[in-house]
Chains A and B, each alone.
Chain A
Amino acid sequence: MTQWSGYFGLILQGALVTIELTLMGSVLALIMAFLAGLGRLSRFFALRALATAYIEFFRGTSIFVQLFFAYFVLPLLGLELTPLQAGVLALGLNVGAYAAEVVRGAVQSIGREQHEACIALNLGRWQGMRHVILPQAFLVMLPTFGNNAIELLKATSVVSLISLADLTFQAQVVRAQTGNTMVPFTTILLIYFILALLISWGVRSLERRMARGLDGVRV
């Protein structure tokens, strides 16, 4: 038993790395999603083209290859990254590309009449976006952002391939040292699942809080 508790300690350390990666990756993904999502709606062709190129490229190539590129190829170009930095970069850029389309779709789902009210009240384009359109669009984005965050959580397991000691990596270590396959992998399966549940729950409660008052029932 004492032996197993040591191995569980390893797996918990891995869980912390996975959580760290998920949080940092999500922040980068969120930033990229808004930059590229709003970029696609820009009046300026260059911004639209740039945003579209980013989205299509990162959606269209494998996250494995992106990660390997960040970790193994960028150093050749003079950019040395730690495994954690490479992981956050690849995960954030990859998931950000998907989430950018969520931002664009949500902004476009806000009715024309809201834009017209902004013009009639003489709000500038950015003022209207910031104070009227985005707050309403954000509520539309939230459920899909929840999906994206769970996708990102699950994708973190690829970083074990560049020797970052996340959940999956630690499970491999435990398996190698104990010869037991069932215990470590069942354990991390459960931990991934619980983390995903936490994300779902967090996003849902945020959604409830933000929707308060909008339907005239809950205040």
Chain B
Amino acid sequence: MSASAPIIKVDSISKSFGSFKVLDGLSMQVMPREKLALIGPSGSGKTTILRILMTLERIDGGHIQIDGEQLYHMERNGQLLPADERHLARMRQKTGMVFQLFNLFPHKSVIDNVTLAPMLTKGTPRAAAEKRAMELLEMVGMADKAKAMPAQLSGGQKQRVAIARALALQPKIMLFDEVTSALDPELVEEVLNVLWRLCAETDMTMLLVTHEMGFAHDFADRVLFFDRGRIVEEGKPDEIFRNPKQERTQGFLKKIIAAGHRV
């Protein structure tokens, strides 16, 4: 693994919302199959970097490479031009995202939520798309709800469907944006179990923004601590959680533990 090239290469990108600088010359690299946990106080830029990787936000400056190709630029005759919609569409195939609030399509049944994108974007025939969708729903433990409407499901069930929906496009990289933050405490476990299964059964690269420190510790190969648009500290989970070097990391973890989160 260490011999291969990074699948994500973020090179000093910046992003502002109005006068608020969310990302300030951020650089990071992610290796294929790596599981990364992004932690930090709210407003630190960890969600923004996921949204930028999914092309939901544009960057103000810097470069991003995914799978060896520029995300927001295209090379034409040796020149770097801003990416057009076609280039972005091609690049998006590499990445999938799961949202904090699930963002299921409320007017479509569970299985239709999962089959819609493969049928539209890849031209997968309905029968094949449904077969694959059932396999994915099986994996997230939602096969018996395939015909249900999203409004009939609990938050944890919705999130598991949302994960299956993102997986249906077979992305190389999966982005999880606080996927358990909106769930009742007793429903968190079922979603985390699905993430464990994904980790064990697939070789996807996974980036996880989370406040579940215990899970981040067990799950991640590497933890990045974000604060004020920068990565303040990064390392193996044990180093970050047991022995943080930076004062800001220490302060953040102390607050989190005081708030009752297990580390």
- Genuine A/B complex: yes
Residues of A within 8 A of B (CB): 113-114, 116-117, 119-125, 127, 131-132, 135-136, 139, 213-217, 219
Bound Cα distance from A135 to B116, whole angstroms:
14
Pairwise interchain contact B56-A122, C-beta atoms closer than 8 A: no
User: Which 4 pairs from chain A and chain B are nearest by CB?
Assistant: A216-B151, A213-B149, A121-B117, A117-B103
Contacts of A122 in B (CB 8 A): 89, 92-93, 117, 121, 169
B155 nearest CB across to chain A (Å): 12
**Interface contact B103-A114, CB-CB below 8 Å:** yes
User: Known: A113-B101, A216-B152. Contact between A119 and B92, CB under 8 A?
Assistant: yes
Q: Is B120 an interface residue (CB 8 A)?
A: yes
Q: Contact at A119–B151, with CB atoms within 8 Å?
A: no
- Distance in angstroms from A117 CB to nearest chain B CB is 4
In Å, the complex CA distance between A217 and B109 comes to 14
Given A121-B165, A213-B149, A216-B152 in contact, is the A136-B106 Cβ separation under 8 Å? Answer: yes
- Contact A131–B116 (Cβ < 8 Å): yes
Q: Which residues of A contact B55 (CB under 8 A)?
A: 119
Please, how many angstroms separate the alpha-carbon atoms of A132 and B165 in the complex?
14
Judge whether B56 and A113 touch: CB under 8 Å: no
The interface residues of chain A lying within 8 Å CB-to-CB of B93 are 122
Contacts of B106 in A (CB 8 A): 136, 214
Indicate if the CB atoms of A116 and B151 lie closer than 8 Å: no
B164 beta carbon closer than 8 Å to chain A? no
Whether A117 and B89, one on each chain, are in contact in the complex, defined by CB atoms closer than 8 angstroms, is no
What total count of A-B pairs have CB within 8 Å? 72
Across the interface, A116 reaches (CB within 8 A) one of B56, B117, B152, namely B56
Residues from chain B with a CB closer than 8 A to the CB of A135 are 107
> Residues of B contacting A124 with CB < 8 Å?
89, 120-121
Q: Does B105 contact A (CB under 8 A)?
A: yes
Chain B residues near A123 (CB-CB < 8 A): 116-117, 120-121
Q: A136-B107, A216-B149, A216-B151 are in contact. Are A120 and B166 (CB under 8 A)?
A: yes
Contacts of B152 in A (CB 8 A): 213, 216, 219
Query: B residues engaging A (CB < 8 A)?
Result: 54-56, 85, 89, 92-93, 96-97, 99, 101, 103-107, 109, 116-117, 120-121, 149-152, 165-166, 169
Within the assembled complex, what's the spacing in Å between the Cα atoms of A116 and B166?
13
Partner of B99, one of A113, A125, A213: A113
Chain A positions within 8 Å of B104 at CB level? 117
Contact present for B97 and A120 (CB under 8 Å): yes
Known: A117-B103, A122-B93, A219-B152. 10 other contacts (CB 8 A): A117-B99, A119-B54, A119-B56, A120-B92, A121-B117, A121-B166, A131-B116, A135-B107, A139-B107, A215-B151
Q: Bound state CA distance, A120 and B55, in angstroms?
A: 8
Q: State whether A214 touches B103 (Cβ < 8 A).
A: no
* Cα distance A132–B103 in the bound complex, in angstroms: 11
Q: Which of B92, B99, B105 contacts A132 (CB 8 A)?
A: B105
Task: Specify the chain B residue showing the minimal Cβ separation from A216.
Answer: B151
Contact of A127 among B92, B96, B107, B120 (CB under 8 A): B120
CB distance from B177 to the nearest CB of A (A): 10
9 of the cross-chain contacts (CB-CB < 8 Å) are A119-B54, A120-B56, A121-B116, A122-B93, A125-B85, A213-B107, A213-B152, A214-B149, A216-B149
Known pairs A120-B96, A122-B92, A123-B120; A114 contacts B151 (CB<8 A): no
Q: Whole-angstrom distance between the alpha carbons of A182 and B160 in the complex?
A: 67
Contacts of B165 in A (CB 8 A): 121
Nearest-Cβ distance from residue B218 to partner chain A, whole angstroms: 26
Nearest residue, chain B, Cβ from A120: B97
Smallest CB-CB separation from B168: which chain A residue? A121
Q: Which residues of A contact B105 (CB under 8 A)?
A: 114, 117, 132, 136
- Report A67 CB to chain B, min CB distance, Å: 39
Complex contacts, B56 vs chain A, CB 8 Å: 116, 119-120
A125 partner residues in chain B, CB cutoff 8 A:
85
